[in-house]
Amino acid sequence: MSFQAYLDAIEDKTGKTPRALVEEAQARGFAEPGVKAGTIVAWLAEDYGLGRGHAMALVHVITKGPTIGSKHVGTTGSHRDESDTLWLDGKATRPAP
């Protein structure tokens, strides 16, 4: 599953775009330096029912922003992504590749 597919699945499960969840995390202080991933994972599990894998994908975006490493960008594997920048504004608004 690509990184973007994780974010799309989070949107399907929560009904919120990744950007909305990042903004909520920021409002709760979860984007501040020193906040442990486990704190964010626990919040996402409790409030949204997200499992660890999906929550950790969002932890990355909350703590590091929407840019990912280029290791799988443009490859043919199951973890490939189209870009090294993740789309946070919802599947319906994502430009076609």
**CA dist 85 to 3, 43, 44, 63, 90, Å?**
10, 25, 22, 14, 14
Find tokens 């290791």 and name the residue.
Answer: 71
Q: What is the pTM of this model?
A: 0.89
The pLDDT value given to residue 82: 85
What is the structure's pLDDT at 17? 98
Angle between helices 37-48 and 3-14 (to 10 degrees): 40
- Name beta bridge partners: 73: 81
Dihedral (Cα; 66, 31, 9, 18), 10-degree rounding: -70
Residue ranges covered by each domain of the chain: 3-72
pLDDT per residue of the chain (97 residues) written in tens, 0 to 9:
788 999 999 999 999 999 999 999 999 999 999 999 999 999 999 999 999 999 999 999 999 999 988 876 877 777 788 888 999 999 999 988 7
